[in-house]
Structure 1
Amino acid sequence: MEDKLLLSIMQKNARIKMRDLAAVLDEPRENVIDKVTELEDKKVICGYHTVINWDKTNTDIVTALIEIKATPEREFGYDRIASRIYKFEEVETMYLLAGRYDFALIIRGHTMQQVAHFVASKLAPISGVTETVTTFVLKNYKNSGIVMVEDEDGKNDRLVVTP
């Protein structure tokens, strides 16, 4: 059984039933269950998430992208600085970058002030952090491969690609 195909299917639909996944992979259900368990144990599959369109709820959610410049530490590089940052519950996603900035974060809060407070009181004071740039998300068009908006026809279908 090819891990890449199994993972690709599960990434698109984490709720797929094991019997359906087994049918697509043309493998016995028990083998698929064992493989998924193995991939979970190895932390290849790290979690299962629901993609929520917060714009369609009565909940105020502010999303911000934060770019960070940092000075790497001798013997540890960026890893210790990253560890101090990704442990904050506000941080949803964190990347090490090659380019103008060293890290990119995605964080969520209930207000712009809450995000600003996080940056000013928790992020900026970290030893090694030399600069932050915060950009607030105005509209979410696509999230984790899922189109979050409707077109003029009231649909959110993906474009059809033809050869």
Structure 2
Amino acid sequence: MEEVEVELLKLIENNANLEVEKIAKLMGKSIDETRELIDKLEKKKVILGYSTLIDWAKVLNEEEVTAMVDVKVTPARDVGFDKVAERIYRFPEVKAVYLMSGTYDLSVSVKGKTMMEIGHFISEKLSALDSVLSTTTHFVLKKYKHDGIILQDADEGDKRIVVSP
């Protein structure tokens, strides 16, 4: 990969909202060169998409429940864990799947409206797959930092009520 491509990727990784004109200026390239470079990287599937990080805890009635599920599986012959991971990541509830070292084989990030909804997904869909041997579910109680972005400022302070005898 060319140095200029890596430079571009580092810029948009930290802020996908940068306008092409600003990227071109930061890189010392023309706007057309920059657009062509972005198009090239999108076609090569180096740039897979652009996303926005939203703190849903600050939006009324929109908060979702997130669970991290450790999954132990039996790998398929000739394809290892890939086929199992593909079956799992195709479920719309699944937001991410990672092959892991350690006690469990896959780490699966799942989102739902309620804990019960996630529980139904795990018991009726995920655990029902032939290759899944066991699961352990961890519910996210609070997010402090995500993708390098701090979600709660330290100066917001402790909002708990002081209880004393």
Q: Considering the TM-score relative to the shorter chain, is it more than 0.5?
A: yes
Show the counterpart of 2:29.
27
Question: 1:33 and 1:22 mapped to 2: Cα distance?
Answer: 9
Show the counterpart of 2:94.
91
Show the counterpart of 1:144.
147
1:153 Cα deviation after fit: 5.5
Show the counterpart of 2:162.
none
Does residue 57 in structure 1 map to residue 59 in structure 2? yes
Is the 8 Å Cα contact of residues 69 and 103 (structure 1) preserved in structure 2?
yes
Question: 1:45 and 1:94 mapped to 2: Cα distance?
Answer: 19
Is the 8 Å Cα contact of residues 60 and 111 (structure 1) preserved in structure 2?
no
Deviation per residue, 1:65-108 (Å, 9 max, x gap): 11111111111111111111000000111111122211111111
Describe the SS at the equivalent of 1:127. coil
User: Which amino acid is 1:99 matched to?
Assistant: G
Does residue 101 in structure 1 map to residue 104 in structure 2? yes
Describe the SS at the equivalent of 2:154. coil
Does residue 15 in structure 1 map to residue 17 in structure 2? yes
Describe the SS at the equivalent of 1:23. helix
Show the counterpart of 2:161.
none
1:60 Cα deviation after fit: 3.1
Q: Which residue among 131, 144, 163 is the counterpart of 1:128? A: 131
Describe the SS at the equivalent of 1:133. strand
Q: TM-score, normalised by structure 2?
A: 0.89
Shift >3 Å, 4+ stretches: none
Describe the SS at the equivalent of 1:7. helix
Aligned residues: 154
Is the 8 Å Cα contact of residues 18 and 33 (structure 1) preserved in structure 2?
yes
User: Which amino acid is 2:97 matched to?
Assistant: M
Show the counterpart of 1:82.
85
Show the counterpart of 1:160.
none
5+ residue gaps, structure 1? 155-163
Question: 1:145 and 1:128 mapped to 2: Cα distance?
Answer: 34
Q: TM-score, normalised by structure 1?
A: 0.90
Q: CA RMSD for the aligned pairs? A: 1.2
Larger radius of gyration: 2
Describe the SS at the equivalent of 1:94. strand
CA pair 46-30 structure 1, distance change in 2 beyond 3 A: same
Question: 2:92 and 2:100 mapped to 1: Cα distance?
Answer: 21
Question: 1:51 and 1:68 mapped to 2: Cα distance?
Answer: 26
